[in-house]
């Protein structure tokens, strides 16, 4: 198709976590608002903007590989995101295939930056700084300081469309599920983690902004919002109310069109009983606990600059399951941290065996630039780390499969994400997007043939393979585009709106 002289096409590639997805959609919103056409393929683009991940060594390698592949398309290639923010000019020097390396401070002028790249101008890569130094140490003093924070932007007055919420975001993927950013940054000082240095100090978004964006997402067909941040359990502390999440969750669950709210990235040391109660018992909020345990041996946790132990973590899980017996729980663990002993690994195995987690991520320790752990004595040999990783990974796989088997016969609520001729697929409440498995819906039930993406259904689990479940549909709880008052909403669901007759 012929191109007009003023046409500018950009392809966005997102790597890493759901937080990066939100950041990419902010970039897409800014670019679309300035007339850029968003395209899917690098071969169709004038500029490929890669939102990189800089969390661990493999993520950094994937980011570099993606940038190199993009350069083969003939388009201009621009690196943004965490790896670009973290390494700046160092990345630009090591990767001449990238036409520019941009930091978070460039996001507000992203269209100008890409215009200049497209015009052949050479941009200076930014000089990385410890972004924690850009905001006051005291959290409640941060709201009055202007610092670029990806995923927190709203359109200024007068720029928004005549109708609709003022949300600076453009969805890049369809489907009934979307991440919604609660906050950015982190105030914790975990010895193994570099994220606070390039993401900055913890900053909450205001509830009004979050609710506005949730309503906008609902208008885009989203049925489940997944609240993301570096540490969701800290939400509100810089706004003067460390329990603000407990009041926000019911408000989010009440947004018309949203049938599920999911919280991710909870710190065990900050997960209060009152927050557990809200997550476990609020209609419309899924009883799902994404808890960052990292290990369970107390000596290892202390060296990591974290808190807890096997017994304390088991008590936390017991408190959640007392309120919601079938609550979903996932966590991540690091093996091979400096100073870890065989006894520490055995303690972790004991915790995993008793915890009955639904999903487990296991990582072998590696030194990260600028972290305290990189300087610690007692480094574990790589072959020993690999053996421990294999052992704990196999154990986790076995235990999570057993946990899935425990759900045989249970009735679960499934959000439908795809529909085929004789089946449908979605996720139960204990399954977060992409990481925790899925549910395949089968059976001769007439309802099955009428399901649509975004429907919320009740189903009985009939089998499992690993963490994935098979289930037969029993009925529809909430159908897309249908007044929920006419449907059987089942137990523990949001009541029909007042005056609707439900």
Q: Output the known binding site for [4Fe-4S] cluster.
A: 17, 53, 82, 186, 190, 193
Distance from the Cα of residue 62 to its chain's centroid: 18
Residue 107 region, left (φ>0) first, then alpha (ψ -120 to 50), else beta? alpha
Closest C-alpha among 33, 266, 44 to residue 156:
33
Pairing of strands 183-184, 203-204: antiparallel
CB 371 within 8 A of CB 193: yes
Residues 6+ apart with CB under 8 A from 200: 131, 132, 134, 135, 147, 149, 184, 185
List, as residue ranges, the binding site: 17, 53, 82, 186, 190, 193
Pairing of strands 411-419, 424-428: antiparallel
Cβ-based neighbour number of residue 241 at 10 Å: 16
3-state SS, one letter per residue, for 323-390: HCCCCEEEEEEEECCCCCCHHHHHHHHHHHHHHCCCEEEEEECCCCCCCCHHHCCCCCCHHHHHHHHH
* Residues linked to residue 50 through DSSP beta bridges, in sequence order: 13, 79
3-state SS, one letter per residue, for 85-100: HHHCHHHHHHCCCCCE
Q: Which two tokens stand for residue 446?
A: 């007439």
CB 10 within 8 A of CB 47: yes
**Across the beta sheet with 224-228, what order do the strands follow?**
177-181, 224-228, 260-263
Q: What's the rounded Cα separation, in Å, for the pair 426 and 428? A: 7
């Amino acid at each position: 198709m012929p191109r007009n002289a003023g046409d500018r096409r950009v392809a966005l590639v997102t790597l890493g976590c759901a937080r990066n997805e939100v950041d990419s959609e902010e970039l897409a919103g800014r670019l679309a608002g300035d007339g850029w056409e968003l395209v899917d393929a690098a071969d169709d683009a004038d500029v490929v903007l890669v939102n990189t991940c800089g969390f661990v060594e493999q993520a950094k390698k994937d980011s570099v590989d993606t940038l190199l592949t993009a350069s083969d398309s003939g388009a201009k290639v621009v690196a943004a995101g965490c790896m670009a923010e973290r390494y700046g000019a160092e990345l630009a020097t090591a990767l001449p295939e990238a036409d520019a390396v941009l930091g978070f401070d460039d996001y507000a002028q992203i269209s100008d930056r890409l215009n200049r790249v497209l015009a052949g101008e050479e941009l200076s890569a930014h000089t990385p700084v410890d972004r924690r130094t850009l905001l006051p140490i005291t959290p409640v003093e941060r709201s009055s300081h202007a610092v670029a924070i990806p995923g927190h932007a709203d359109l200024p007055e007068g720029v928004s469309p005549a109708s609709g919420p003022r949300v600076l975001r453009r969805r890049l993927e369809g489907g009934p599920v979307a991440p919604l950013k609660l906050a950015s940054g982190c105030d914790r000082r975990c010895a193994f983690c570099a994220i606070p240095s390039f993401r900055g100090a913890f900053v909450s978004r205001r509830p009004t902004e979050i609710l506005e964006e949730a309503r906008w997402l609902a208008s885009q067909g989203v049925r489940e919002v997944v609240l993301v941040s570096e540490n969701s359990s800290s939400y509100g502390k810089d706004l003067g109310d460390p329990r603000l999440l407990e009041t926000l969750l019911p408000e989010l669950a009440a947004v018309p069109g949203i049938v599920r709210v999911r919280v991710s990235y909870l710190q065990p040391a900050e997960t209060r009983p009152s927050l557990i109660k809200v997550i476990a018992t609020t209609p419309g909020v899924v009883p799902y606990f994404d808890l960052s345990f990292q290990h369970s041996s107390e000596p290892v946790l202390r060296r990591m600059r974290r808190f807890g132990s096997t017994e304390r973590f088991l008590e936390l899980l017991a408190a959640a399951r007392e309120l919601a017996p079938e609550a979903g729980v996932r966590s991540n663990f690091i093996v091979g941290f400096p100073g870890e002993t065989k006894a520490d690994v055995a303690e972790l195995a004991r915790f995993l065996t008793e915890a009955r987690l639904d999903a487990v991520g296991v990582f072998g320790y590696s030194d990260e630039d600028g972290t305290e752990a990189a300087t610690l004595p007692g480094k574990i040999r790589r072959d020993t780390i690999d053996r421990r990783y294999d052992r704990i990974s196999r154990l986790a796989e076995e235990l999570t499969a057993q946990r899935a088997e425990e759900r045989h016969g249970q009735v679960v609520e499934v959000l439908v994400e795809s529909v085929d001729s004789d089946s449908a697929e979605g996720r139960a409440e204990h399954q977060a997007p992409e990481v925790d498995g899925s549910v395949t819906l089968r059976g001769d039930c007439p309802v099955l043939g009428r399901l649509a993406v975004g429907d919320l259904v009740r189903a009985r689990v009939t089998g499992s393979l690993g963490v994935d479940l098979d289930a037969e549909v029993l009925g529809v709880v909430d159908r897309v585009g249908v007044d929920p008052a006419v449907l059987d909403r089942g137990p523990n669901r949001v009541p029909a709106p007042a005056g609707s007759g439900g």
